[in-house]
Amino acid sequence: LELVFATNNAHKMEEVQAMVADLFVIKSLEDIGCQDDIPETGVTFEENAQQKTDYLVNKYGLYCFGDDSGLEVDALNLEPGVYSARYSGTRDMEKNIDLVLERLGKNENRKARFRTVISLYLNEQQHFFEGVIEGNIVAERRGAAGFGYDPIFIPDGYDKTFAEMSAEQKNAISHRSIAVAKLADFLKEKYAK
Ligand code: ITT
């Protein structure tokens, strides 16, 4: 089985590759010669994830999956949420993290979660898989691994931020790995040889 992963985010590609390497072959947008900036205008993770796959289905007729994800902070009314990639109005993650920390200030309620929704389009059918990990936002950045908001998020039950964990540690518990495990189970059950 070959599926195109509708992402321009190299970190997502790397994480998902490591999770499904022995299950199916992932093609990148580069592999299919797509350099487009796929529009993301939805107000839910589902809508945005499906926009990524709809785009490839409509333009190339390819079976594919897409990942829309973000950080939901309780004390910020679940922001940045679907706006995680451009919370400060730019894709500059330094600024995006600064804005979360600034808006949260000294608020004692640091509860937050990462959410991933994967859209899969296969055999003329649309499917969704979701992964969530609960945790807390720290006062200051910690760690240099991972990407995005990893330096300010500590998953429940741990004392390290995602950015202080190895890729293997993060991938063992992350929102993305939970969603990818559901995708993998589905593919194994339905399409195993
Ligand atoms: P694609 O749409 O091309 O897949 P993107 O980076 O624009 O890539 P999203 O639209 O899903 O992805 O935006 C999600 C943002 O949320 C992303 O840019 C990160 O800043 C953040 N994010 C997503 N997953 C994350 C993770 O595992 N760790 C930390 N931050 C994450």
ipTM for the whole complex:
0.98
| Span between the terminal Cα atoms of the chain, in Å | 10
* 135 CB neighbour count, 10 Å cutoff: 22
Residue 16 has pLDDT above 70, yes or no: yes
Distance 26 CA to ligand 1 centre (A): 18
Tens of pLDDT, residue by residue over 79-125, are 999 999 999 999 999 999 999 999 999 999 999 999 999 999 999 99
Ligand 1 surroundings by CB, under 6 angstroms:
7-9, 12, 40, 67-70, 84-85, 93, 114, 146-150, 162, 174, 176
Residues 6+ apart with CB under 8 A from 161: 138, 141, 142, 143, 150, 151, 152, 153, 154
pTM: 0.97
Is 159 one of the catalytic residues?
Answer: no
Task: Give the distance (Å) from ligand 1 centre to CA of residue 68.
Answer: 7
Q: Where are the domains of the chain?
A: 2-191
CATH of domain 2-191: 3.90.950.10
Reported as a pLDDT band with limits 50, 70 and 90, residue 192 is low
Instruction: Specify binding-site residues.
Output: 7-12, 68-69, 147-150, 170, 175-176
